[in-house]
A and B are shown apart, each in its own frame.
Chain A
């Protein structure tokens, strides 16, 4: 149980295009999902908190117009990197908070984005 998937697992795009990454909780409902990014050989940094049916909450320094987050259902959150540039190349990882009433999160396998 408590499986989280991400799609795609990797994506290469041209500078200036937009890329959408999906995060799904496969066997549980997740009212809250989180998006992290990880630069090479670095740790994970929380980007934003996504709540079903409401606007995402972004961490300080994260551009909300650049990284659009939509949490349209209890099992799906999407992250859209708009007008991507090479500096947006990173490993993006989502997590979903479990439905057991306490803050235990389950992580997706990650999406590697390379912007050329």
Chain B
């Protein structure tokens, strides 16, 4: 089975500062990895995903994440955050062949002016 650990429950940061949200996974087999964002009282929105190929994946709104197999990590980064990035971020892992996703506990990103 796969599992995900998000070490930071909350990350406060000032606007235009860089940010990194950490995600480590545990699995004995290959995995798919995802980052989702959830705004208050809304569903999940996919930010980016790693299925295979290039280990660096990017989203359209400036976020990127790098799959690091040796460190079993998939950290999310953004070089300059905006107030509108304030939300809950979930890292998730799944097995390529099937099964539900296992979600991390979530990281609350709070961007301050």
Residues of A at the B interface (CB closer than 8 Å) are 32, 34, 36, 42-46, 49, 59, 93, 95, 97, 102-105, 107-110, 112
The main secondary structure of chain B at its interface with chain A is: strand
Which residue in chain A gives the minimum CB-CB distance to B4? A43
A63 to B5, CA, bound (A): 27
Chain B residues within 8 Å of chain A by Cβ, number: 23
A59 to B98, CA, bound (A): 15
B63 contacts the other chain (Cβ, under 8 Å)? no
B53 contacts the other chain (Cβ, under 8 Å)? no
Please indicate the chain B residues that have their CB under 8 angstroms from the CB of A36 in the complex: 100
Q: Interface code B47-62, partner A: CB below 8 Å = 1, 0 otherwise?
A: 0010100000000000
Selected interface stretch from B11-19, B67-75, B78-86, B103-111 = B103-111
A58 to B102, CA, bound (A): 15
B113 contacts the other chain (Cβ, under 8 Å)? no
Residues of B at the A interface (CB closer than 8 Å) are 32, 36, 41-44, 46, 49, 51, 90, 94-106
Instruction: Return the contact of A102 from the options B46, B51, B100 (Cβ within 8 A).
Output: B51
Please indicate the chain A residues that have their CB under 8 angstroms from the CB of B99 in the complex: 49, 103
A36 to B99, CA, bound (A): 12
Known pairs A34-B101, A102-B51, A104-B49. 10 more at Cβ < 8 A?
A42-B105, A44-B90, A46-B100, A93-B44, A95-B100, A97-B98, A103-B97, A105-B94, A109-B42, A110-B43
**Do A93 and B43 contact each other (CB < 8 Å), given the known contacts A43-B104, A44-B103?**
yes
**Inter-subunit contact A112/B41 (CB<8 Å):** yes
Please indicate the chain A residues that have their CB under 8 angstroms from the CB of B41 in the complex: 112
